[in-house]
Amino acid sequence: MPNQFKLEPFNPGWGMGSSHIQTILGKYARGATEGIVFHRRRIDTPDEDFFDLDFPEIAGLPLDETAPMVLLLHGLEGHSRRGYMCQTYRLLARQGIRSAGMNFRSCSGEMNRQPWSYHAGATEDVALALDALEAWCPGVPKGMIGFSLGANLTLKYLGERGEGVRSSLQAAAAISPPFDLRQSATEMQKGIKRVYGRMFLNSIRDKMQTKADLVRQVADLKQIMAAQSVYEFDNLWTAPIHGFRDADDYYAQCSSGSYLAGIRVPTLILRSIDDPMFAPQDIPFDVIQANPYLYAGITQRGGHLGYIEGRPGHFSGWAERQASRFTTLFLKDAA
């Protein structure tokens, strides 16, 4: 890891130290799409489905085809135009780095064609996205930045491929990743944290209802819609439709913690001890410390996809800034 990279300290503003406040601010306080024009390209998948990539053009920051490229992966029920994605596009563009925002299946505003969509371990689609970027942007250094579920996918993708990862992929960052999906599902069944689980479930139920005719062909929609927790939903739908025995099998095979030891690309991991979505004991400190390709920023505070600094009207995202600084360092060295 290069000695010249040092994490900046995270300093939440006055009254913004609570994990729940940080998580809520993370959703609502970031700037959205102002000043960004998106150009969309569709990728068809081998199972007769599709997902979309969005390429942001930042006003006043034109970049040519020789600029490095970073693929961004959003979180559960997110999309390429979330605030944390847009803030990262802007930060990268200021450093001369292009971006592509991946919309997982069903997340681009147009429903996908199959009953199934995406899940925490669907690295086949990530590979397709990177293959497409390699074809469209040949010869330039590339990176990845993932958020939450997208961070899990980033770490799993890199760990699966190990030494065989594509040579153009020079750096990655994972923000608020779950290391143990089973523990995360359990955590969201506790007390006030159930609010987060219900929020995700409501969004997923809406999508299931939209493609009800497709789902009914392969499963009991009424039973699935009655799920009362993320774990129950994953056990009834996510796991079996994607070929896993049950939710526990799905979590065991897809949790990023199992893949950290195999990563051979310089990767920044940012996680907060107080993240309300996860149990703090899921952080595998020993595995992270043993791998010289991993650089961990484990903070006491920050919430989930929070890390908001500043004051009303002048908020900024600490995690996006660290991730863009880290990836820029390696991509510019490789250019």
Domain span at residue 216 reads: 188-254
Compute the distance between CA of residue 94 and CA of residue 98 in angstroms, rounded to an integer. Answer: 9
Shared domain for 122 and 166, answered yes or no, is yes
Domain end among 226, 254, 282: 254
- pLDDT tier for residue 140 given thresholds of 50, 70 and 90: very high
The answer to whether position 132 is within a domain reads: yes
From edge to edge, which strands make up the β-sheet containing 294-299?
36-44, 50-58, 98-103, 69-73, 142-147, 169-175, 267-272, 294-299
CB of 242 within 8 A of CB of 273? no
For the stretch 171-214, pLDDT in tens is: 999 999 999 999 999 998 888 888 999 999 999 999 999 999 99
Span 82-96, average pLDDT: 96
The answer to whether position 71 is within a domain reads: yes
The answer to whether position 8 is within a domain reads: no
For the stretch 258-280, pLDDT in tens is: 999 999 999 999 999 999 999 88
The answer to whether position 23 is within a domain reads: yes
Domain end among 229, 254, 279: 254
Span 238-254, average pLDDT: 98
For the stretch 13-23, pLDDT in tens is: 888 999 999 99
Shared domain for 213 and 330, answered yes or no, is no
Number of domains in the chain: 2
The answer to whether position 328 is within a domain reads: yes
Span 85-95, average pLDDT: 97
The confidence score (pLDDT) of residue 2 equals 47
Shared domain for 171 and 193, answered yes or no, is no
E-strand spans in the chain? 36-44, 50-58, 69-73, 98-103, 142-147, 169-175, 267-272, 294-299, 308-309, 316-317
Span 80-92, average pLDDT: 96
- pLDDT tier for residue 215 given thresholds of 50, 70 and 90: very high
Give the CATH number, domain containing residue 281: 3.40.50.1820
The confidence score (pLDDT) of residue 1 equals 47
Compute the distance between CA of residue 150 and CA of residue 77 in angstroms, rounded to an integer. Answer: 10
The confidence score (pLDDT) of residue 313 equals 78
The answer to whether position 58 is within a domain reads: yes
The confidence score (pLDDT) of residue 325 equals 97
The answer to whether position 12 is within a domain reads: no
Report the predicted TM-score, pTM, of the whole model to 2 decimal places: 0.96
The answer to whether position 10 is within a domain reads: no
- pLDDT tier for residue 28 given thresholds of 50, 70 and 90: confident
